[in-house]
Structure 1
Amino acid sequence: MAGKSSKGSKRLLDLRGQTWWFRMAIPASCRDYFSGKTMYLQSLSTSDLKQAMAQRDILEREVRTLFARVKSGQVISSDEEMAEERGRIYREVISVTRREGDNEALHEIVLAAEEEERSLKAKARERFSRALSGDHPVDHYFEAYLASIKLAPKTTAERRGVLNRFARWCLAEKLRLPDINRRTAGRYVTEAIEPMDRSTAKKHMTALRGYWEYLLMRGHVEGELKDSPWAGQEVASKKRRVERGEREEERPYTEDELKRLLYAPFPKGIDPEWEPLLRDALMISCLSGMRQAEVLTLWVEEVHDNVFDIQQGKTEAAARKVPIHPALKEIVTRRTEGKQPKDWLFDEVAELRDPGDTFGKRFNRFRKLLKVDDTRPGKRRSLVNFHSARKWFVTQARHAGEPVETIKDVVGHKADKKKDITFGVYTTGASPAQMKACVEAVSLPEAAKS
């Protein structure tokens, strides 16, 4: 299968005692920067393979980027980097001392910073001076910010793309970190974000606000959280009138679409070995409401006592026990038989470099070949995709009369504590019996009789 490596899911990972380490060979052209070392090593501080794999995927991109920067000369001598770090530390100390109002101490620190700046050589002095003044490119702290928020790899990549788009705009406008104020932020919102689809615009605003909150909290830019140039930068609604098609959103499958995906002859143009994977994953999502990533990354030990015991996920509410629908028993038995506890239920994707992305592309090709598609002008994605299975489950459960609160618990949606104190604060969720009844209230459409 394409994308396999000799170590499979443990690629670039090394277990030392009870701790996983990230291990990558350093290119010969970069070894001087790393003091002659041939291997880049970093402890992942976890014994959990899933967590290690998620960290590995993020760290691999960052380290490869670092290697590329070293090769291109963007990352230079350690003396210059040390000068930049010293300038940054001085800046933070000056900021704290100024807030405390200790003018005498502030004077002494500023004098010390000026003395150190004068003692440095030209390039090191420039790096020190820029760090001291906070004068960096806007993307200077991107990777530190992304590492701090610990999102899923796919979400991290999406947020990195959003921030990189802003960085490219700033580069074209010759703007650096100190130049970003309410006016320049407002101009970016007007020029780049307002023309976007509203849901896309919201993602961009969330990423930019989050990045600036990080910069303010770490003292990389001056001010308090309320001083963020993105605070209050709401995307203006273009018009109040709604035209035909404007409110069209991603939707559940129709009964006919789901029948084609589940029962139609497997289309030519895709490796037939993918049929069990695509259809098994789809059935599980349709009868549990589980997200694509939750289905694909299940371990055998997480399928027990008639539940899918989801240990991690997109949100805090994602960790939950979902009852296994009776119609899924054959799939579960077939996929767990003869496997070890930490083997993947869907072992076909365990050795892929990016299981979710590869599966998603294959599934999209599969549904398009079966003419299950709903692409509209102005919409980047089809209104039907794998996530439509989750939407289908929620819709069917609601039509079966299941309580909304129970459906939320099954699919991993958190109750809004501000809007619903009773269910958001005073309950611990649906009982196992309620969740089981909710799952079993949903059934797949029957195949057409030949």
Structure 2
Amino acid sequence: MSKHIELRANTWYAVLVIPKDVRSILDKFKFFKSLETTSKKEARQRAAPLIALWKSQIDEARGNVGAVNSEALRWKGYLSTATDVELDVLEESLLDKAQSLINTIGKDEAVEFYQVAKGYKTPLDSNYQKWKEQIILVPKTRDQTVKDVDVFIKRFKTIEKVTKQEVRKWTDEILAQGSSIGTVNRLLISARNYWKYLQKIDVASLDSEPLNLKGLIPTVKKKNKKGYIPFEPSAVVRLWNAALAKGEQELADLIYLGAYTGARIEEICALQLKDVTDSSFNIIESKTNAGVREVPIHSQLTAIVKRLKDNSKDGYLLTGLTFNKYGDRSNNLGKKFGKLKTHLGFSSRLEVFHSIRKTLVTQLENAGVSEGVTADIVGHEKKTMTYGLYSGGNSLAIKKEALEKIQYPF
């Protein structure tokens, strides 16, 4: 520590030379502050927190820390343990730091920095990492929730800023930017997840519910209960032909398989050779329990299934697909399908690959197939107690007979 103190005119000073790479950012050659003592021992003690804080400023200038709140918390920690002259020195330095921040981050941010350092306010992100470590959600939902909370924290900065009035202003800002009510509600749900954690660890008041805006923002319009729109059988053929014309054999195969199975896109992409027999697909990975099922191989699929099995190089029916970070193999083909259908003029957000699943269900209904058989083919829950709870499901032969009624103008 002796190298960071200097004796001048019988008074000790704290000194830290600033590295060349950040001098232009900090606009000075070195940090220099009187320790107001003639004792070298006292000088060492008083200089220690100053040197640590100056080093954190250097780190921040280099982008290693980046968060002003992190430095403010360091100041708060040193101020809480300082006494007498050491406290006076630190408080004087804190005022200098806050004054310098006005020129770099603005007056409001500088004032907030000072208030956090003095303990008047609490940074909203101070427990962010701990919250991330304990949340238990499916991967996609978890990632979206984390992104939403990032937006929430950047907007409010401190816990004290999170008031119902300010939250209402925030939602108005989001809507003014062109986002939907659904997006606003999603952001609020994610923010409440974080806020409840802060309440759980006694950082936020249990009596404060600033993120509950029930009745203060517009409600989401109810969506069409039927959801996605089924393609006409001829449209499915158009999509298949267009994929072939573009040289997208994998996409064409995906469409063909979907047309005669009604399977979800990821169910098809997850099919391994060991799950494909001469007569059926055993779908063992699905979004629901009912989705785990055995689907007969339609006679029109016999040739394509043989070709795909013979050409597979990785044990999957659709070979060569890569996994995304969530473990899905369908991501790339899903994007290709989206571009293809848009190119062909199917521009509705309700016309997606899942629409092919609806095409098959519609054809089965029109062919007079019972709802129970159709449910067993596509993997839907049966709502009745008798069939839904006690039945083992329709036989493969009955499902096969029903599926053979499906035809496309390929």
TM-score normalised over the length of structure 1: 0.53
Tell me which of 302, 323, 347 is aligned to 2:319.
347
Amino acid of the structure 2 residue aligned with 1:135: P
Instruction: Establish whether residue 386 from structure 1 lines up as the match of residue 369 from structure 2.
Output: no
Is residue 174 of structure 2 the alignment partner of residue 180 of structure 1? no
Q: 1:373 aligns with which of 346, 369, 375?
A: 346
2:340 maps to a residue whose letter is F
C-alpha distance in 2 between matches for 1:331 and 1:191: 53
1:251-400 counterparts in 2 under 5 A? 251-263=229-241, 266-267=244-245, 270=246, 272=247, 274=248, 276-304=249-277, 306-337=279-310, 343-350=315-322, 355-369=329-343, 371-375=344-348, 381=349, 383-400=350-367
CA distance in 2, matches of 1:337, 1:252: 32
Report Cα offsets for 1:206-239 as digits up to 9, x if no partner: 5445555555567664539x95834846863489
C-alpha contact (below 8 Å) 1:406/1:438 kept by paired residues? no
Which stretches in structure 2 are left out of the alignment for 5+ residues? 1-59, 95-113
CA 1:408–1:264 in structure 2 vs 1: closer, same or farther (change >3 Å)?
same
Tell me, yes or no, if structure 1 residue 223 matches structure 2 residue 206: yes
- Larger RCO: 1 or 2 (CA < 8 Å, sep 6+): 1
What is the count of residue pairs matched by the alignment?
Answer: 317
Structure 1, 278-287 or 196-205: larger mean CA deviation: 196-205
Deviates most, 187-196 or 307-316: 187-196
Contact 1:178–1:221 under 8 Å retained in 2: no
1:56-98 deviations in Å (ceiling 9; x for gaps)? xxxxxxxxxxxxx9x831289xxx99x99xxxxxxxxxxxxxx
Whether the 8 Å CA contact 2:236–2:259 is kept in 1: the answer is no
Is contact 2:122-2:160 (8 Å) kept? Answer: yes
Offset from partner CA, 1:265-290 (integer Å, 9 cap, x none): 834xx4x2x2x200111122222222
Closer, same or farther: CA 390–421 of 1 in aligned 2, 3 Å: closer
Residue 74 in structure 1 maps to residue 81 in structure 2: no
CA RMSD of aligned residues (A): 5.2
Q: Given the superposition, is the C-alpha separation of residues 321 and 367 from structure 1 closer, same or farther in structure 2, using an over 3 Å criterion? A: same
Percent identity reads 19
- In structure 1, the residue matched to 2:137 is 149
Amino acid at match of 1:74: V
User: How far is 1:302 from its partner?
Assistant: 2.7
Shift of 1:331: 2.5
- Contact 1:288–1:322 (Cα < 8 Å) also in 2: yes
Structure 1 equivalent of residue 218 of structure 2:
236
Q: C-alpha displacement at 1:260, in angstroms?
A: 0.9
Q: Which of the two has higher C-alpha Rg?
A: 2
Contact 1:298 1:310 survives alignment (8 Å): yes
Please tell me the residue identity of whatever aligns with 2:261.
S
Letter in 1 for 2:63: S
Q: Answer whether contact 2:271 2:317 (CA < 8 A) is retained.
A: yes
